[in-house]
Amino acid sequence: MKNEKMIQALNDQVNKEFFSAYLYLAMQAYFSSLNLDGFANYFRVQVQEERDHALGFFNYLTRIGGKATLAGIKEPQNEFSSPQEIFELALKHEQFITQSISDLMDISREIKDHKTEIFLQWYISEQVEEEENMGRVLNKLKLIKGDGAGLFMIDSELAQRLYVPAVIPGAV
Ligand code: OFO
């Protein structure tokens, strides 16, 4: 049985995940413009992960017979004042996404949509990692207080991040 409230909320989440990719692409552009290639790599990987998250919701919607309706993606912030500001914004955005996915879980429980509840569990766990990752880099940036050598050390570390395609149960 299809529930229109659930279908609409899943559609909205597709949009939010693509917006996440768009926002992080703007952050990648900022770091590339400063030749901070490790930070740029970090966000390049993040963009790919967000695209996977969006397509996961899209594929799940299709599988349960709910047509995906693609809305416009709003313009992200494009100007930033510092790496620390970027990670503060990114962490805040991930907290917003965590709340959004928790709201989806509440709807699935309210309407006893157990299959969607199980599908959402991967995203709930993923959000722990998403907030943790952004928070860890943010804490390091706070520690170095704008020191150039410290910034380059973090940049080298973030250059190591690799993209691993997400395997989302229920979305393939
Ligand atoms: Fe960053 O987790 Fe999706 O949006």
CA–CA separation, 129 and 122 (whole Å)? 11
Q: If you write DSSP's letter for every residue of 60-106 in order, what string do you get?
A: HHHHTTPPP-PPPPPPPP---S-HHHHHHHHHHHHHHHHHHHHHHHH
Cα 110 to ligand 1 centroid, rounded to whole Å: 24
Atom of ligand 1 nearest to the CA of 126: 2
Task: Please give the model's pTM, rounded to 2 decimal places.
Answer: 0.96
Instruction: Please state, in angstroms and rounded to a whole number, the distance separating the CA atoms of residues 23 and 49.
Output: 13
Q: Report how far ligand 1's centroid is from the alpha carbon of 54 (Å).
A: 8
* CA 15/CA 99 separation, integer angstroms: 15
Which tens digit of pLDDT belongs to each residue from 36-58?
Answer: 999 999 999 999 999 999 999 99
pLDDT tens digits for 96-121?
999 999 999 999 999 999 999 999 99
Question: Yes or no: is domain 4-71+80-158 CATH 3.90.1640.10?
Answer: no
CB 150 within 8 A of CB 129: no
* Predicted pLDDT of residue 107: 97
Q: Which residues line ligand 1 (CB under 6 A)?
A: 17, 20, 50, 53, 94, 97, 130
Give the separation between CA 66 and CA 165, rounded to whole angstroms.
25
pLDDT single digits (tens) 121-138: 999 999 999 999 999 999
Closest CA to 161 of 30, 29, 53, 28: 28
pLDDT of residue 145 exceeding 90, the answer is: yes
For a mutational test of ligand 1's pocket, the pick from 10, 13, 14, 17, i.e. the residue with the most ligand atoms closer than 8 A to its C-beta, is 17
Q: Given this model, what pLDDT does residue 72 score?
A: 97
Evaluate if residue 5 carries a pLDDT over 90.
yes
The domain segmentation of the chain, as residue ranges, is 4-71+80-158
Nearest CA to ligand 1 atom 4: 17
pLDDT at 172: 81
Please tell me the predicted confidence (pLDDT) of residue 112: 96
